[in-house]
Amino acid sequence: MSSAMHTSSIERAIRALLITLAVLFFMLPIFWLLTTAFKFGRDAFAIPPKWIFFDFTLKNFQDIWTSTETPRYLLNSIIVSIGATTLSLLLGVPAGYAIARSKSALINASSYFFLLLLMIPPIAMLIPFYLVMRNLHLLGSYAALITLDAIFDAAFVVWMMRSYFQDVPQEMEEAALVDGASPLGAFMRIALPLSLPGIVASALYCIIFSWNDFLFALMLTSPKTKTIPLGIMASFSSVEISWGKMAAMSLIAIIPALIIALFLNRYFVQGMTMGSTKG
Amino acid sequence: MRPKSNRSLLFVEKHYLLLLAPLLIFVAAIAIYPLFFSFYISFFKYRLTDPNQTRTFLGIAHYILAIHDKTVITAIRNTLVFVAGTVVIELLLGLGLALLFAGEGRWMRALRSWLIIPMALPSLVVGLVWKSLYNVDFGVIPYYFKQFGITMGRGPLGEIKWAMPSVILIDIWQWTPLVMIIFLAGLKSLPHDPYEAARVDGANRWQSFWHITLPLLKPSILIVLLLRTMQGFKVFDIIYATTSGGPGTATTVLNFHIYTVGMVFFKMGYAAALANILLIIVAALAILYIIVLERQQI
């Protein structure tokens, strides 16, 4: 792009102003959440708002951690995220490879079937899935939540890994096949290691999807298997509504998102763009 | 891109089928079976609260009921307003942000990585944060509006005329960054030559944006339109966290209404019928999306 050719100082000032406004718009709500978690109730509700100068406290975190439920919510979220991600990668990565390499029209067309699956509104899948799980007496189990998450995760992984494998050069695999390796061996020993960045990007998407999921967890979990988003809602329905506690729990809920966005940014962006724009 | 096969339509390589099969079986069992069940159960009256769990066959009565159900019509209208509002604004804002943040300097990279945080957050948390910002008693937004002489009555989420725009703004906040990164990828892949030619011909920057950049970005624009439209139909968490569909039915989108019918009133047959209607709308869009992706490849 040749947009930086002749920029007048007025134009640069306008650009700087717009950039500042955009950053403020997108960052202030996050800043508000971060600070509310460290505020006493009186400062969180202060009018006019106290953006920067308030009494710092860790009371909210003590409160949520000593209430026996929080560690369990956290553990449940970790179990569900890891379970769904592992299952989706195990099923989705080989399938993505098969679709990328196969010359069969039938196998190639199946990628669109997975894309369609990805587009299904969650509630349309949840209503019948809930009934099926109810009949199997699996409501409230980790298995129910993990399998339903894995459907949407795996559909994304296939789609993403297919585009990724298509960009990985085939020459080395072909050489291995000539040397007597089996197609499965070529996949395991050559294609898999070469596609590690794509697998990382897919895994990040799966972790975020399961960790952030609220609707599925709302309908499929029991008090024992509740995940963090449900814990956050629980801090509302109790006798007193505590925004400080809500903020503190939300802060725990957004840690993976922050880590990924700030440190694994490249992989995350790659996953989000490749997953939605590559045919 | 990939070599076109000239073999028979039913030709499959066994070893590739072997790699694909586990997922196909999993999907058939976990997703396809429930979807067929959903189709089947939509012809029955089936209430989970009924102690005898009876299913009475109704035929297509649920579908006829849906067409005459005022709440359903309102929900469909609200969904369309929500989708149209979010998609149009996110498209324009996302394109603007992409142009603004397209630089490759260290600062630009850092700012871009900050900007993508919203879309990684749980939508529920996003909804709750904005709910507290919108709160009529201690919320930041009504406070600053009041400083400018605008009082918001029962607050942005409590007034019928403000509720939908307020919810739309939350979605814009969370998902415009995704639109931005799609456009950034699109901008990056633009060819250099047309701009050189335009410069030689004496075109100004606005003209080259309008006549070169925009037409070349058409694939990205289409993808954003379809992707965000389909995702707009899925909105649930932020509605649940902020308004629960209220005030009245001002923010009841179809998705949320199906949840209420099925999971609050446990009218499973009717909920399944409504879910199938939603499914048909989204499937039509999804097929359009696939055609666009396919065209783009050529």
Q: For residues A12 and A66, state if they share a domain.
A: no
Whether residue B3 lies within 8 A of chain A, CB to CB, comes out as yes
Determine the pLDDT at residue B1. Answer: 45
| Assigned domain for A221 exists | yes
Same domain, A21 and A65: no
User: A20 with A67, same domain?
Assistant: no
Phi/psi at A14 (5° precision): -65, -40
How far A265 CA sits from the closest chain B CA (Å)?
6
Q: In angstroms, rounded to a whole number, what is the distance separating the alpha carbons of residues B102 and B104? A: 7
What is the Cα–Cα distance from A4 to A49, expressed in whole angstroms?
40
Tens of pLDDT, residue by residue, chain A (279 residues): 444 445 688 988 999 999 999 999 999 999 999 998 898 877 777 777 888 888 888 888 888 888 768 889 999 999 999 999 999 999 999 999 999 998 888 888 888 888 888 888 899 999 999 999 998 999 999 999 999 999 999 999 998 899 889 888 888 888 888 888 888 888 888 899 989 989 998 999 899 999 999 999 999 999 899 999 998 888 766 556 678 888 888 998 898 888 887 788 888 887 777 777 665
Residue B23 near residue A157, CB atoms below 8 Å: no
Average pLDDT over residues B115-130: 92
Q: d(Cα A151, Cα A85) in Å, to the nearest integer? A: 10
CB-nearest to B286 from A2, A110, A119 is A119
Distance from CA of B161 to the nearest CA of A (A): 23
Structure tokens of A14?
């306008």
Q: Is residue A74 part of a domain?
A: yes
What's the Cα-to-Cα distance from B114 to each of A31, A223, B109, rounded to whole Å? 12, 35, 9
Residue contacts between A and B (CB atoms, under 8 Å) = 292
Looking at residue A237, its pLDDT comes to 60
pLDDT at B6: 53
Query: What pLDDT score was predicted for residue B144?
Result: 87
Same domain, A221 and A84: yes
Interface contact B276-A119, CB threshold 8 A: no
Show residues of chain B in contact with A246, CB under 8 Å.
128, 132
**CB distance B268 to B261 below 8 Å:** no
The three-state secondary structure class of A227 is coil
pLDDT at A3 (0 to 100)? 47
**pLDDT of the residue at B130:** 94
What is the number of other CB atoms lying within 10 angstroms of the CB of residue A83?
Answer: 18
In a domain, A91, yes or no: yes
Residue of A nearest to B238 (CA): A214
| Contact residues on chain A for B185, CB-CB shorter than 8 A | 273, 277
- Cross-chain Cβ contact B116/A232 below 8 Å: no
CATH code of the domain covering residue A88 = 1.10.3720.10
- Give contacts of B130 with chain A, Cβ < 8 Å: 29
Is position A43 within any domain?
no
Q: Are A26 and B173 in contact (CB under 8 A)?
A: yes
Question: pLDDT of B167-208, one tens digit each?
Answer: 999 999 999 999 999 999 889 888 888 888 888 888 888 888
Q: Which long-range contacts (CB under 8 A, 24 or more apart) does A165-172 make?
A: A165/A96, A165/A97, A165/A100, A165/A101, A165/A191, A165/A195, A165/A198, A166/A100, A166/B1, A166/B2, A168/A194, A168/A195, A170/A101
CB contact under 8 A, A45 and B223: no
> pTM of this prediction?
0.90
Written as six digits, the tokens of A99 are 């679709």
A67 in a structural domain: yes
Spatial contact of B240 and B130, defined as CB atoms under 8 Å apart: no
Contacts of A90 in chain B (CB under 8 A): 22
pLDDT of residue A2: 43
Classify residue A125: in a domain, yes or no. yes
Q: Is A69 found in the same domain as A14?
A: no
Nearest to A128 among B35, B115, B140 (CB): B35
**For residue A130, which residues of chain B lie inside 8 Å, CB to CB?**
262-263
- Is A3 strand, coil or helix? coil
Question: Are A67 and A181 part of one and the same domain?
Answer: yes
CA–CA distance, A269 with A10 (Å, rounded to integer): 32
Nearest neighbour of A254 by CB, restricted to B18, B125, B234: B125
Tell me, yes or no, whether A154 and A212 share the same domain. yes
Contact criterion met (CB < 8 Å) for B114 and A27 = yes
What pLDDT, in 10s, does the model give residues B132-169? 899 888 888 988 888 888 888 888 898 888 999 999 99
CA distance B44 to chain A (A): 13
Instruction: Tell whether A12 and A65 lie within a shared domain.
Output: no
Span B268-272, mean pLDDT? Answer: 92
Which 112-171 residues of chain B touch chain A by CB within 8 A?
113-126, 128-130, 132-133, 137-138, 140, 143
Mean pLDDT over the full length of chain B: 88
3-state secondary structure at position B56 = strand
Mean pLDDT comparison of B65-69, B125-129, B157-161, highest-scoring range: B125-129
Neighbouring-strand partners of residue B45: B56
Q: How many domains does chain A have?
A: 2
Residue A36 placed within a domain: no
Residue in chain B nearest A104 by alpha carbon: B12
Of B24, B113, B227, the CB nearest to A276: B227
The answer to whether A54 and A39 are in contact (CB under 8 A) is yes
Asked if the Cβ–Cβ distance from B22 to A158 is below 8 Å, we say no
- Within 8 A of A139 by CB-CB distance, chain B residues are none
For residues B27-38, average pLDDT: 90
Q: Are residues A2 and A65 in the same domain?
A: no
Chain B residues 40-79 with CB within 8 Å of chain A: 41, 48
- Domains of chain B in sequence order: 56-297 (1.10.3720.10)
**pLDDT tens per residue across span B225-249:** 888 998 899 999 999 999 988 898 9
Q: What is the mean pLDDT of residues B12-16?
A: 85
Instruction: Give residue A13's domain range.
Output: 1-26
Judge whether A206 lies within some domain. yes
